[in-house]
Structure 1
Amino acid sequence: MVSHRRTSQHAQTTLTGITVVSAALATAAAALSAPPAAADPAGHPSAGREAAAARVDSLYVEAERATEKYNGAQARTKELRHEVAALQDHTARAQERVNRMRGRLGALAAAQYRSGGIDPTVRLMLSERPDTYLEKAAALDRLGHSQAEELHGLRTAQRRLEQQRSETARKLTELEAGRRAVARHKRDVQRKLATARRLLNALPKRDRAAYDRASRSDGHREAAPDLRGAVPDSGRAAAAVAAVRAAVGRPYAWGSSGPSSFDCSGLTQWAYGRAGVSLPRTSQAQRGAGRTVPPGRMRPGDLVIYRSDASHVGMYVGNGQVVHAPHPGARVRYDPVGMMPISSVTRP
């Protein structure tokens, strides 16, 4: 079972809290799903308690995965908005250039009209689509050198304008798809968190408080571990470690990248941002945002990527500890680096 919760230094108190909470969670899960007899036909209460606790933990993991998908879609739509704005600006400039070129050709046509008529080649230059005429070599033979240059320039400008319009339309379609993906992932996160909240809110007040203590979600800030002798790999890593340690105690909020609240990748992105280093928004992208190092050679400031799908990230701060934003309802905290399966370690 993958879980962000671990036994605290006050082992006896925490284990007692977990026992009380597990029993209450079993009751809550039974009320929300199936009768106790059906949930535990063999008559083993521990099986029901473990299943209920595992379900809450699983919901938090699923919600975090959906959060990282939301973060990725959100980051991509932001990029697309900038790209579309740039394309629209370039398209407007290209349209102005085409208009100026057509204006010069219009002046030439007016001069020819006053002198007795408009040359067919000038009519060609003023047409909306001169391409077909240009395909004929005979037409080029009838053009003067300067007129040919004007027409070639207009043809190139019009083609570029059409390409930019097509690219803008494609990016706008992609942007709309991205917006739908953001909304879909947001609903997914909200649905999973609502289910977890229903399970937890069904607990009696005393048992809910015990759960918060057991999962260290009650705002209690533990003493910082001894990190003396932990030397970061660089000055920027040292600055990032200082930032992430200063964030300990701030609440988890999905989709948030600080400074008052964070999700897992938002925390590491913010901390390295304080050090002047730009990291991608998602834990999956942060995995590739630097040099991969063996877990046995971790240094303070390294990003520790968890789970096979890279859906969680924390920052190693030394002496076997990471700082991370665990899950909704919890706060940024220290935990052992081996709290869950490590996928990889990245040194930005």
Structure 2
Amino acid sequence: MASHRRPSQSGLTQSTRVTVLSAAAATAAAALGATPAGADPAGAPTATQATVDRLFEQAEKATERFNKANERAETLREEVGQARDRTARGQERLNRMRGVIGQLAGAQYRSGGMDPAVSLLLSENPDSYLDKAAALDRIGVFHTGRVHALTEAQRRLGQERTEATRKLAELEQTRAVVSRYKRAVEHKLAEARRLLNALPQAERAEFDRASRGGREEMPEMSGAMPASSRAAAAVLAARNAVGKPYVWGANGPSGFDCSGLMQWSYGQAGVSLPRTSQAQRSAGRRVSLDEAQPGDLVTYRDDASHVGMYMGNGQVVHAPYPGAPVRYDPVGMMPISAVTRV
């Protein structure tokens, strides 16, 4: 699979690298013997096209941060609910224990007076009972184990309440982060749409053709086989998603962002993947690009802000960006961060 080896990036900086969209536009134009509308003869993108490409990339990175924060918020919502349930059960248990002690106190009162130890247990703050009772030398009224049980129940209840309060505060903070990233994505996408709508019709049409320059037909597998039955099932699911729209923050089945497509595809194989491309990079065993097999996850850029699924013959399937449906593209379409076998 030497043909899949990532080309050298030496001497090529981010600011000078031609984007996938613009390169596709230039290639298509070259095949027709013409210069793309709005581009210089060397095939470089116009300032507007480059800005739109950059906004799409920034929106994708913000989308992954949104996904990560949203995933954390979902986890916290579950944990807050569980903490509240534990607190409620702890309060019920404490109430039952104090009820038993109250009955005993009533019996003592009717028989001639309440023991000071019982009074302490029924006080608002029974946590210090053992120390006080030892000083009063009155602990013999109760079995020591019952005293410890009540005190321990009170301590656990306090811990559960503290934990529930902490998680609730973290949940509120996470919700604010989710909203901030959502606004960032929406702002980037709205600005990109505004710039695209301002382009001359011919240039906009050229850009649209370039943005859909990937393949929608299944690539030739050339004998490549998935590494496992679950990878084979995920590959089949990803193929069936080809042509579905890119929808930021979506994980199927009618639309996807890049990591959502991977999560959904492996979900059809019974495998639970993390929600973000950064986490998916570490969701299995790293392999080299030369070893890539269908079903392997290919993450891109240093921050792993984009992900696709290797399909064989030097192709990945992925959800590229708004306006471009799920499709096949060359595995080396942008700098590769890692290849991960799930």
Q: Same fold (TM over 0.5)?
A: yes
Which of 105, 114, 117 is 1:118 aligned to?
A: 114
Q: How far apart in 1 are the matches of 2:181 and 2:64?
A: 9
Residue aligning to 1:7: 24
Question: Structure 2 counterpart of 1:3, which letter?
Answer: T
1:48-87 alignment, distance < 5 Å: 49-87=45-83
Residue aligning to 1:343: 337
SS in 1 for 2:328: strand
Question: Structure 1 counterpart of 2:131, which letter?
Answer: E
CA-CA distance at 1:105 after TM superposition: 0.2
CA-CA distance at 1:14 after TM superposition: 6.7
Query: Structure 1 112/187 Cα, relative in aligned 2: closer, same or farther at 3 Å?
Result: same
Pair 1:101 & 2:101 matched:
no
Where in structure 1 are there 5+ consecutive unaligned residues? Answer: 24-44
The TM-score, its normalising length taken from structure 1, stands at 0.87
Residue aligning to 1:19: 36
- Count residues with an aligned counterpart: 325
Question: Structure 2 counterpart of 1:128, which letter?
Answer: E
Contact between 1:121 and 1:139, CA under 8 Å: does it hold in 2?
no
CA-CA distance at 1:12 after TM superposition: 4.2
State percent identity of aligned pairs: 61
Pair 1:213 & 2:209 matched:
yes
Question: Structure 2 counterpart of 1:178, which letter?
Answer: T
SS in 2 for 1:316: strand
Question: Structure 2 counterpart of 1:143, which letter?
Answer: I
Query: Structure 1 142/226 Cα, relative in aligned 2: closer, same or farther at 3 Å?
Result: same
Contact between 2:282 and 2:340, CA under 8 Å: does it hold in 1?
yes
Q: How far apart in 1 are the matches of 2:321 and 2:136?
A: 70
Contact between 1:18 and 1:211, CA under 8 Å: does it hold in 2?
no
1:221-236 alignment, distance < 5 Å: 222-236=216-230
CA-CA distance at 1:18 after TM superposition: 6.7
Q: How far apart in 1 are the matches of 2:60 and 2:339?
A: 19
Query: Structure 1 140/271 Cα, relative in aligned 2: closer, same or farther at 3 Å?
Result: farther
Residue aligning to 1:254: 248
CA-CA distance at 1:282 after TM superposition: 0.3
Worse overlay, 132-141 or 332-341: 132-141
Q: How far apart in 2 are the matches of 1:79 and 1:18?
A: 51
Worse overlay, 2-11 or 266-275: 2-11
Worse overlay, 276-285 or 142-151: 142-151
Q: Cα RMSD over matched residues?
A: 2.3
Q: How far apart in 2 are the matches of 1:324 and 1:222?
A: 11
Which of 179, 183, 187 is 2:183 aligned to?
A: 187
Contact between 1:22 and 1:53, CA under 8 Å: does it hold in 2?
no
Q: Deviations over 1:284-307 (max 9, x none)?
A: 111111111112211110000100
Contact between 2:211 and 2:323, CA under 8 Å: does it hold in 1?
no
Contact between 2:36 and 2:206, CA under 8 Å: does it hold in 1?
no
Pair 1:295 & 2:289 matched:
yes
1:151-166 alignment, distance < 5 Å: 151-166=147-162
Question: Structure 2 counterpart of 1:345, which letter?
Answer: V
Query: Structure 1 143/264 Cα, relative in aligned 2: closer, same or farther at 3 Å?
Result: same
Residue aligning to 1:132: 128
Q: How far apart in 1 are the matches of 2:122 and 2:152?
A: 14
Q: How far apart in 2 are the matches of 1:296 and 1:50?
A: 35
Pair 1:280 & 2:274 matched:
yes
Query: Structure 1 222/108 Cα, relative in aligned 2: closer, same or farther at 3 Å?
Result: closer
Q: Deviations over 1:230-284 (max 9, x none)?
A: 1000000000001101111111010000001100000000000001000000001
Contact between 1:290 and 1:346, CA under 8 Å: does it hold in 2?
yes
SS in 1 for 2:39: helix
Where in structure 2 are there 5+ consecutive unaligned residues? Answer: 1-16
SS in 1 for 2:239: helix
CA-CA distance at 1:56 after TM superposition: 1.3
CA-CA distance at 1:214 after TM superposition: 1.6
CA-CA distance at 1:208 after TM superposition: 1.8
Contact between 1:134 and 1:140, CA under 8 Å: does it hold in 2?
no
Residue aligning to 1:27: none
Question: Structure 2 counterpart of 1:153, which letter?
Answer: A
Contact between 1:21 and 1:211, CA under 8 Å: does it hold in 2?
no
Question: Structure 1 counterpart of 2:243, which letter?
Answer: G
Contact between 1:249 and 1:333, CA under 8 Å: does it hold in 2?
yes
CA-CA distance at 1:57 after TM superposition: 1.0
Residue aligning to 2:303: 309
